[in-house]
Amino acid sequence: MIHTLVRASKAAVTASTCLALMACTASAPPPATASKAPAPGAGHGYDHDPYPSTYHPYPGVPTLLTNVTVYDGEGGRIDHGAVLFADGRIVQIGQDIAPPAGATVIDGTGKWVTPGVIDIHSHLGDYPSPGVKALSDGNEATAPVTSEVWAEHSVWPQDPGFSRALANGGVTTLEILPGSANLFGGRSVVLKNVYARTVQGMKFPGAPYGLKMACGENPKRVYGSKGREPSTRMGNIAVDRQTWAKAVEYKRKWDKYEKDGGDPPARDLAMDTLAGVLAGEILVQNHCYRADEMANVIDMSKEFGYHVTAFHHAVEAYKIADLLKANGICAAVWADWYGFKMESYDGIPENLALLQKEGTCAMIHSDDQNGIQRLNQEVAKAQAAGRRAGIDIPDEVAWEWLSINPAKALGIADRTGSLKPGKMADVVLWNGNPLSVYSRPEKVWIDGAMLYDAYNPKLRPVSDFELGQPGSGDVK
Amino acid sequence: MKALLLAAAALVAAPASAATTAIVGGTVAIGDGSGPIPNGTVIFTDGRIVAAGARVPVPAGATVIDAHGKWVSAGMVAGLSTLGLADSEGVEESNDVSAGKSPFNAAIDISPAINPNSIILNNERWGGVTSALVSPATAGSIFAGQGAVITLGVGPDPILRPRAFQYVEMGEDGAAAAGGSRPAAYAMLHDALAEAQDYRRSPAAFGGREKDSLIKRPDAQALLAVLDGKQPLLVHVERASDIRSILALKKDYPQLKLVLVGAEEGWLAAHDIAAAHVPVIAAALVDLPESFERVAATESNVGRMEQAGVTVALSTVDASAPGSQRNLKQFAGNLVAITKIPGSTGLDWGHAFASITSGPAVVMGMDGEIGSLRPGRRADVVIWDGDPLELASAPVAVFIDGQPQPQSSRQSELRDRYMNPEDGALPKAYQR
């Protein structure tokens, strides 16, 4: 698995990279006397995790939810079911589970239990509320290639949006991406939806980084209006290809150095990210609306030897569901956003259902501080549109669009995204069927800690920004 | 059942003009705030509702549509939209919503620009939206111009009421448009109304054609209807203090017919709004402090205002998603959902549904015409495959002005073309 490799290398690197790092900086060249430094080994030429997660699970109590309908997140459903979690992990799901001594038992008659919702596309923190210029940190729109920027360095952990996503949306994990002004927007970061004083305190431990890329109208508009490349779609691809060619060369130099030692090549932070993609450590999350543009990107990925993990905002994915499936690429989409610009003109509400019918990896996403509060509802609409078109997708299968599929596309499916024993106890108790408009989260646990309870105002998080403001602590 | 309905619709489409239609057996939602009526009947003839409710006799000779297991309701009225003003808002060339380079503002009248053939109208219609308030947006002035009320029925004339209202920005957006501050926005508003009075006193002496005149002649002329209370003034404000400042305008201009738009902090001034008898076209479900004028935003806003006695219509105002009006029913459903959350204030089903049907009609003073299934209203009727506020529900038949509406759209044609993505014997372009 990609992430375990990264993790192992991180541990090794943090212990021993101080010297290597210094050797890498231009201001401190390696001493001339060192005729040939020893080879650091693959992936050890520089620190790959210099801003490590400091997230820690909060304390929980062993909890048994009984008499609930369970969507397990992987397509399974249990009626009159039960879910047991303890020590931050799922212990068991089934129909009859005996409560361990000391466990809290919650009778969930008439209620539903699902894994926490995962949003693969969010700008909470880098386009936070309030949306004032001073906090507008999502697009480094000064050059079309800015793969050196990391979204986590823009994320404001006090965004009130995190609390709404938790309480109204049952969101427990989310990916924060740079915006789409640039062809290479920068690195994304995966967060647990748990407030912390620092973004490091929210980072999902061991989740791989993502690289945000963008096709289409946005980059060509932003840079075309500045009178520079790219101003066309062909310009987009040309700049992309030139950049990948450079990245291949950069990686070759570093691979050689890591294998053979000697003088380390000059560091280039933008190229670090792309080399990480080429090495399979960093997952490409590509904003791309149109079917024909996705096909171009797929060919480009083959030309340079990388893989696109998911196309985001893939409004026309339904037109190439077969191509996406054949290439093992997921589509992250809205339920019914369409028509707001030319490249979204062909959006249809059956997109998700058509992808599912073809067997293509598909998921819902929000890209929006309000939409993230209702992703379950968006799935319900998409499912219903499919049903009307004769594509019958059971509720528990539709729930994959909110759980295991985004978990896969984020490289964290072995740890969250379903209620399988041993996984993180990221759990939502809904006060009714979560595919009904009339249902809301009642309680949300993250790593087994209850972090929202509709019946306990003290378990309703209030960010620093909202403290002392009119309506502070109100239901929202 | 769907086939039956379609057949019935085809029957109604036949040219027998005096034909009466009776939709029987469905759960009927009138749209006036009352709750759903099981096993109800809706009767319409000559494009007008005759009766709706329980124990309504079916007249002899009526075309009967069986709606057992279905819901029959008033069509949705979009609280504030740009329907018909843009084929795609992001495509500048197709977008008539605002005009930053125009010398005019209050005079702008959107009614000649509405395109009833826009594919967006088709999709919204097939989503159960049968009429809409359509507004221009501001650019370069606090005044956006005059909006209209339109019908979404297929036909050449979409306008139900042209110049139905004037729209003005008075919060942060108004401040920006007026040169940089809220006080400047008030100065601009007062000056514009004063100029309108000057124009009334002496049209011949009124300039308003000079390049540097603050108010152009047609703008002054247009504002007379606002001053006289003949045309509602829709004011977009969010902050509680801004709401109170707007309500205070009635002291200077007693005839003003004010309508608040947005009003995310309305719950903090709900009793003042109610006492002033000013209705609200609300930003539904917005619950984040997306700007400093909205720090107290909560999904309970609409419920709390209504509890205080304010007339509220829902809208997509301030919604960050593209403004699909067919999703208004989802907003309304959520306001029912939060009644189960301790501390929240929502709406019961009947009032939630009214907020997307008769609510906007009442705000416009048009509830005798649209927005409910009460006798005499236009026969804008939707048959749904379930509870219209539920996410899974969709129309199975839409009647506007008594006429059955088309059941396909560009979206459904795209869907059918790509039901299987692979090319067939010929390219996709030949498949339709």
pLDDT tens readout for residues A396-412: 999 999 999 999 999 99
- Whether the Cβ atoms of residue B316 and residue B323 lie closer than 8 Å to each other: yes
Q: Could you give the CA distance from residue A194 to residue A60 in angstroms, rounded to a whole number?
A: 14
In the structure, what pLDDT confidence band is assigned to residue A35 with cuts at 50, 70 and 90? low
Q: Nearest CA to B391 among A336, A475, A169, A315?
A: A336
CB atoms within 10 A of CB A313: 25
Sort strands A77-86 and A63-71 into parallel, antiparallel or unpaired: antiparallel
A476 and B288: CB-CB below 8 Å? yes
Q: ipTM surpassing 0.90, yes or no?
A: yes
Distance (Å) from the alpha carbon of B289 to chain A's nearest alpha carbon: 6
User: Above 70 in pLDDT, residue A40?
Assistant: yes
User: Above 50 in pLDDT, residue A43?
Assistant: yes
Domain B76-363, CATH: 3.20.20.140
B290 and A130: CB-CB below 8 Å? yes
Helix or strand holding residue B328 (H, E): helix B328-337
Give the number of beta-carbon pairs within 8 Å between A and B.
169
| Two tokens, residue A101 | 């001594």
Interface test with A, best of B412, B414, B423 (most A CBs within 10 A): B414
Predicted local distance difference test score (pLDDT) of residue B4: 43
Q: Which residues pair with A68 in a beta bridge?
A: A81
Output the CA torsion sign for A363, A367, A373, A378.
negative
Q: Could you give the CA distance from residue B13 to residue A69 in angstroms, rounded to a whole number?
A: 46
Q: Could you give the CA distance from residue A306 to residue A299 in angstroms, rounded to a whole number?
A: 10
Provide long-range contacts, Cβ within 8 A and 24+ apart, for A28-36. A30/A263, A30/A264, A36/A261, A36/A262
Distance (Å) from the alpha carbon of B313 to chain A's nearest alpha carbon: 19
Count Cβ atoms within 10 A of the Cβ of residue B97 and give its class: 0-12 exposed, 13-18 middle, 19 or more buried. middle
B422 and A344: CB-CB below 8 Å? no
Q: Which among A347, A369, A437 has CB closest to B390?
A: A437
| Two tokens, residue B260 | 């608040």
Instruction: Please give the average per-residue pLDDT across A425-435, as a whole number.
Output: 98
Predicted local distance difference test score (pLDDT) of residue B223: 98
A219 preceded by cis ω (within 30°)? no
The alpha carbon torsion through B103, B104, B105, B111 (nearest 10 deg) reads -130
Q: Tell me the Cα Rg of chain A.
A: 23
Sort strands B37-45 and A283-287 into parallel, antiparallel or unpaired: unpaired
Instruction: Please give the average per-residue pLDDT across A36-41, as a whole number.
Output: 88
Report yes or no: A436 at the B interface, CB cutoff 8 Å.
Answer: yes
pLDDT tens readout for residues A286-295: 999 999 999 9
User: Above 50 in pLDDT, residue A69?
Assistant: yes
Q: Give the domain B2-74+380-415 fold.
A: Urease, subunit C; domain 1 (2.30.40)
Distance in angstroms between the alpha carbons of the first and the last residue of chain B: 25
Interface test with A, best of B173, B411, B422 (most A CBs within 10 A): B411
A435 and B322: CB-CB below 8 Å? no
B322 and A438: CB-CB below 8 Å? no
pTM (whole model) above 0.90: yes
Q: Which residues pair with B258 in a beta bridge?
A: B233
User: Above 90 in pLDDT, residue A116?
Assistant: yes
Predicted local distance difference test score (pLDDT) of residue B243: 98
Distance (Å) from the alpha carbon of A182 to chain B's nearest alpha carbon: 18
Helix or strand holding residue B106 (H, E): none
pLDDT tens readout for residues A320-346: 999 999 999 999 999 999 999 999 999
Q: Which residues of A touch B418 (CB under 8 A)?
A: 318-319, 354
Distance in angstroms between the alpha carbons of the first and the last residue of chain A: 40
Report yes or no: A367 at the B interface, CB cutoff 8 Å.
Answer: no
- Whether the Cβ atoms of residue A399 and residue A118 lie closer than 8 Å to each other: no
Interface test with A, best of B318, B418, B420 (most A CBs within 10 A): B418
In the structure, what pLDDT confidence band is assigned to residue A20 with cuts at 50, 70 and 90? very low
Q: Which residues of B touch A468 (CB under 8 A)?
A: none
Q: Could you give the CA distance from residue B87 to residue A189 in angstroms, rounded to a whole number?
A: 36
Helix or strand holding residue B52 (H, E): strand B48-53
Show the low-confidence residues of chain B (pLDDT under 50).
Answer: 1-17
User: If you search the block for the tokens 């929980």, which residue do you land on?
Assistant: A60
Average pLDDT, rounded, for chain A: 93
B290 and A381: CB-CB below 8 Å? no
Instruction: Please give the average per-residue pLDDT across A2-26, as a whole number.
Output: 37
Q: Which residues of A touch B337 (CB under 8 A)?
A: 437-440
pLDDT tens readout for residues B146-178: 999 999 999 999 999 999 999 999 999 999 999
A350 and B415: CB-CB below 8 Å? yes
Q: Nearest CA to A418 among A426, A96, A410?
A: A426
Predicted local distance difference test score (pLDDT) of residue B18: 62
Sort strands B76-81 and B395-400 into parallel, antiparallel or unpaired: unpaired
Distance (Å) from the alpha carbon of A84 to chain B's nearest alpha carbon: 25
A384 and B393: CB-CB below 8 Å? yes
Report yes or no: A371 at the B interface, CB cutoff 8 Å.
Answer: yes
Q: Could you give the CA distance from residue A413 to residue A115 in angstroms, rounded to a whole number?
A: 12
- Whether the Cβ atoms of residue B400 and residue B87 lie closer than 8 Å to each other: no
Q: Which among B268, B299, B337 has CB closest to A437?
A: B337
A476 and B289: CB-CB below 8 Å? no
Domain ranges for chain B: 2-74+380-415, 76-363
- Whether the Cβ atoms of residue A152 and residue A198 lie closer than 8 Å to each other: no
| Two tokens, residue A17 | 């990279």
The alpha carbon torsion through A223, A227, A228, A234 (nearest 10 deg) reads 70
For domain A116-419, the CATH superfamily is Metal-dependent hydrolases (3.20.20.140)
Q: Could you give the CA distance from residue A136 to residue B290 in angstroms, rounded to a whole number?
A: 12
3-state secondary structure chain A: CHHHHHHHHHHHHHHHHHHHHHHHCCCCCCCCCCCCCCCCCCCCCCCCCCCCCCCCCCCCCCEEEEEEEEECCCCCEEEEEEEEEECCEEEEEECCCCCCCCCEEEECCCCEEEECEEEEEECCCCCCCCCCHHHCCCCCCCCCECCCCEHHHCCCCCCCHHHHHHHCCCEEEEEECCCCCCCEEEEEEEEECCCCCCCCCCECCCCCCEEEEECCHHHHHHHHCCCCCCCCHHHHHHHHHHHHHHHHHHHHHHHHHHHHCCCCCCCCHHHHHHHHHHCCCCEEEEECCCHHHHHHHHHHHHHHCCCEEEEECCCCHHHHHHHHHHCCCEEEECCCCCCCCHHHCCCCCCHHHHHHHHCCCEEECCCCCCHHHHHHHHHHHHHHHHHHCCCCCCHHHHHHHHCHHHHHHCCCCCCCCCCCCCCECCEEEECCCCCCCCCCEEEEEECCEEEEECCCHHHCCCCHHHCCCCCCCCCC
Helix or strand holding residue B346 (H, E): none
The CA-atom distances, in angstroms, between A328 and each of A175, A288, A321, B157, B217 are 20, 16, 11, 50, 63
The CA-atom distances, in angstroms, between B41 and each of A40, A384, B216, B372 are 80, 27, 53, 14
Report yes or no: A402 at the B interface, CB cutoff 8 Å.
Answer: no
pLDDT tens readout for residues A244-264: 999 999 999 999 999 999 999
CA-nearest residue to B241 within chain A is: A470
CA-nearest residue to A440 within chain B is: B337
Q: Could you give the CA distance from residue A409 to residue A328 in angstroms, rounded to a whole number?
A: 11
Q: Could you give the CA distance from residue B203 to residue B215 in angstroms, rounded to a whole number?
A: 13
Helix or strand holding residue B380 (H, E): none
CB atoms within 10 A of CB B220: 26
